[in-house]
């Protein structure tokens, strides 16, 4: 429980326009997506997170839809979904001022894939 609270603290910065009541729902959506789709978590840079996903059209669509909704409330994110050579990758980039949000996202993705 303490770990969940710690992981949540950096998740929603003041720049987020998602209503506070909807944030736990979005968090649960990310957790479910991470548990279902993420095979590997990489951090090639302080401002970039790379998620290697299980390849399927459904997971690609889910990644695109969730990324678009998240970008609607946290426009500082840059999501890049790459589908090539039978591989599916979601890259998430943020400006340096929002690195702690990327840290929290990485921690949630890592925890979900380890569970």
Confidence (pTM): 0.85
Pick the CATH number of 2-10+38-114 from 3.30.1360, 3.40.50, 1.10.3720, 3.30.1490: 3.30.1360
Nearest residue to 15 via CA among 59, 63, 77, 79: 77
Q: What is the DSSP letter of 113?
A: H
Confidence class for position 1, pLDDT limits 50, 70, 90:
very low
Which parts of 1-115 are beta strand (E)?
Answer: 38-45, 48-53, 78-84, 87-93
- pLDDT tens by residue, 33-44: 999 999 999 999
């Amino acid at each position: 429980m303490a770990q969940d609270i710690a992981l949540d603290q950096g998740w929603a910065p003041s720049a987020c326009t998602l209503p506070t009541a909807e944030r736990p729902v979005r968090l649960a959506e990310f957790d479910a997506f991470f548990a279902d789709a993420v095979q590997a978590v990489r951090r090639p840079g302080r401002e970039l997170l790379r998620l290697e996903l299980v390849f399927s059209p459904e997971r690609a669509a889910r990644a695109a839809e969730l990324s678009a909704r998240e970008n609607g409330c946290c426009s500082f994110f840059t999501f890049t979904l790459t589908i090539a050579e039978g591989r599916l990758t979601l890259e998430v980039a943020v400006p340096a001022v929002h690195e702690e949000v990327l840290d929290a996202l990485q921690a949630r993705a890592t925890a979900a894939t380890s569970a």
